[in-house]
A and B are shown apart, each in its own frame.
Chain A
Amino acid sequence: MLFLDFLINAFAFGITFLYGSTGEIITEKAGHLNLGIPGIMGVGGACGCAALNIMCAAGNLPPWLIVIIGLLAAFAGGALMGLLYSFLTVTLRSNQNVTGLAMTIFGIGLTKYLFYTLAKKPANSETPVIHYLKALDYYRFPFAGQKSSLVYCGIMVFLGIAIAIVASIILTRTRVGLHLRAVGESPATADAAGINVTRYKYVATIIGSGIAALGGLFYIMDYQGSQEAYLSIEAMGWLSVALVIFSLWRPYLSIIGSFVFGALFILASYLPVFGVSVNMATSNLIKTLPYVVTILVLIVTSIINRRENQPPASLGVSYFREDR
């Protein structure tokens, strides 16, 4: 049973990365390496929590409305960040790495600021009143109150998997997906075929950022369900970027990959439960595993060098029609 508990926990934890990597895959398929994902996930979490805080404080709202508004707020927060990133990298053709890193600096700062503001003491009270965690049970439907790890498997876990599957289908089975992949592979060819490259880049980045932002909300409010969780969101964001490589730019592989990442990340805390004694030092070494595994995948795919497993060909390169 313990092992099952571990698996369920790993699965649920991995959903954080699943949102992040699905969003990043959609963005990268349009040819944009968005290193602002950690910031975007943070801002998404903060916006979601802020909206939930207001609604939970208001009271008497139907739970489904609270859940939906929370999701929409997080998505909107991420999408706005995505819009900013798109404006800088698509329209102004700024360097993607530099813009992404600035987005992370900005986004993590904004996240901390928003949570700081949420937790600010009101003038007439000793302790701050935080409402957003009241929504936790709504999000954990139908497993709220369970004693096992099953409790984490709420609405957002299913939503995350659904989004990954839908993203997979759109990318591989639809005209929109075909055009999007064409834009990321060769914007000049796509342009010549009459595809609106700029529009695809914008929409993919904005939607991708919105999806990644949901991961921030899930991690901070749902999985961790604590007031301090936002402090570790940046690390989750970078792991999501790693998962993109691990899953070879395929959302359906991300589902499996997110589980592997989740398992590797919480392995250290479960090993003692399984009777394997692990000291704190070793547990830190175990935490390098997701990154080490990602590096290995990167190396192996570059040595095998199959075209299908490489990043989109125009990743990181700005497109300017007249440069052809």
Chain B
Amino acid sequence: MSRASTKEPLIHITRRSTIAPWKGIVIRIAAIVVAFLLCSMLAYFLIGAKPADFLINFFQGLFGINRMSANIRLWMLAKDTAILLLIALALTPAFRMKFWNIGAEGQVLISALAAAAVTYYFGDKLAKSEWLLLLLMLAASITAGIIWAVIPAIFKALWNSNETLFTLMMNYVATYFVAFCLVKWTPDSSSVLGILDHGHLPTLGNDYILILIFTLITTVFMFVYLNYSKPGYEISVVGESTRTARYIGINVKKVIIRTMILTGTICGLTGFLLVAALDHSVTATSVGGLGFTAIIVAWLAKFNPFVMILTSLLLAALNQGAGQITSSFSVSTALPDVMIGIILFFVIGCEFFIRYSIHFRKKAHTSVVQEKGDES
């Protein structure tokens, strides 16, 4: 028998059917720790920061250096987390359906523009009834968000147009459309809108508290919607197998469009909050890439709304901590992006070790792994 002479690969990779939750968590934490070590080494070589200083500064960025700054820092962190989380929540139902919407950036931006437009045009007239103005802003934001989200969905449903590329393009249409409006709205064409006087949400003691409340409600809502509602159940079926969906009589086209309306609604809410609660203005970079970061947030959390609280916190914290490093060591503001990129690579890459297991060839092992399922 010459069986032993058959070539067997040195490394054999198989898909895991299951992994203990604690193992998954350990792998992910290990990836983040290794990435942090690498970043601190990088910081040492690039800017001469000692690893200890690097870490101290990073965490000072998160928690502040004294009680007062801690207060400010933590609120900032909470706000950044909330906005990121909101956008990620908007993306989640579509992602569960395997509709790869990478256009949240544009969907939120156009909503913010709609809210700003309402206060720009009607702010003075409705100055006395601020609530009506706010409601109008919210309605406009949500409408704009839905329009921006549902256009690619309609083409996907009817003609199977590639939604990834479509939504990507819509981002830039939104960006330049905002630029167009800003020039129109500013008398000297400076495109600097400044703070709009009207349509401010009440602060309830802290600027950010209302945003947190909205986000919390949306998170719970999305969790319930995805796991305990009939439309959410249909999303899961469509995402897994359109054949099963047809078998039990689900109208797949309807589900695609309905889901993207929901995405547009939450993007609209986010745009509204950006204008009415935070910026009171709008620029072409109001969303600042959060629409893209949110994709990573949602994906890292495996589209689970509650896990997304953690992943959005992670991303927001990275940003804030790295920002502190920038100011402490007076380096380019770009360095945080580099470090976030490195950490993301590790976090993304470590999923491999969760989904697959690696077997190394044992010496003098003669059997061949060749089974490819049963005969059909």
Residues of A within 8 A of B (CB): 33, 35, 84, 87-88, 91-95, 97-99, 101-113, 116-117, 235, 238-239, 241-242, 245, 279-282, 284-285, 287-288, 291-292, 294-295, 298-299, 302-303, 305, 311, 316, 320, 322-324
- The smallest beta-carbon distance between B212 and chain A, in angstroms, is 26
- Report yes or no: A94 in contact with B349, Cβ–Cβ below 8 A: yes
Chain A to chain B: the 6 pairs with minimum beta-carbon distance, closest first = A106-B341, A109-B337, A112-B334, A116-B332, A92-B352, A281-B183
Q: What are 7 A-B pairs at a CB distance below 8 A?
A: A97-B164, A105-B293, A241-B165, A242-B172, A284-B179, A298-B161, A299-B155
- Report yes or no: B172 in contact with A280, Cβ–Cβ below 8 A: no
- The smallest beta-carbon distance between B372 and chain A, in angstroms, is 6
Chain B residues with Cβ below 8 Å from A95 are 299, 348
Q: With A and B bound together, what is the CA distance between A87 and B348 in angstroms?
A: 11
- Report yes or no: B332 in contact with A117, Cβ–Cβ below 8 A: yes
Chain A residues with Cβ below 8 Å from B336 are 109
Chain B residues with Cβ below 8 Å from A285 are 176-177, 180
Size bracket, chain B contacts = 35 or more
Q: Does B100 contact A (CB under 8 A)?
A: yes
- Given A288-B177, A292-B173, A316-B164, do A99 and B348 touch, yes or no (CB 8 Å)? yes
Most buried by B among A99, A279, A281: A281
- Report yes or no: A295 in contact with B169, Cβ–Cβ below 8 A: yes
- The smallest beta-carbon distance between B344 and chain A, in angstroms, is 4
Residues of B within 8 A of A (CB): 13-15, 100, 102, 155, 159-162, 164-166, 168-173, 176-177, 179-181, 183-184, 189, 191, 289, 292-293, 295-296, 299, 331-342, 344-345, 348-349, 351-352, 355-356, 372-373
- Report yes or no: A279 in contact with B334, Cβ–Cβ below 8 A: no
Chain A residues with Cβ below 8 Å from B162 are 245, 298, 302, 311
Q: With A and B bound together, what is the CA distance between A311 and B355 in angstroms?
A: 27
Given contacts A235-B172, A239-B172, 11 further A-B contacts (CB under 8 A): A93-B352, A97-B164, A101-B293, A102-B296, A108-B337, A242-B165, A292-B169, A299-B155, A302-B162, A305-B159, A322-B14
Identify which of A33, A106, A323 contacts B337 (C-beta below 8 A): A106
- What DSSP secondary structure best describes chain B's contact surface? helix
- Given A113-B334, A302-B161, do A295 and B345 touch, yes or no (CB 8 Å)? no
Chain A residues with Cβ below 8 Å from B352 are 91-94
Chain A residues with Cβ below 8 Å from B100 are 97, 316
- Report yes or no: A112 in contact with B168, Cβ–Cβ below 8 A: no
Most buried by B among A87, A88, A291: A291
- Report yes or no: B348 in contact with A105, Cβ–Cβ below 8 A: no
- Given A281-B183, A291-B172, do A102 and B166 touch, yes or no (CB 8 Å)? no
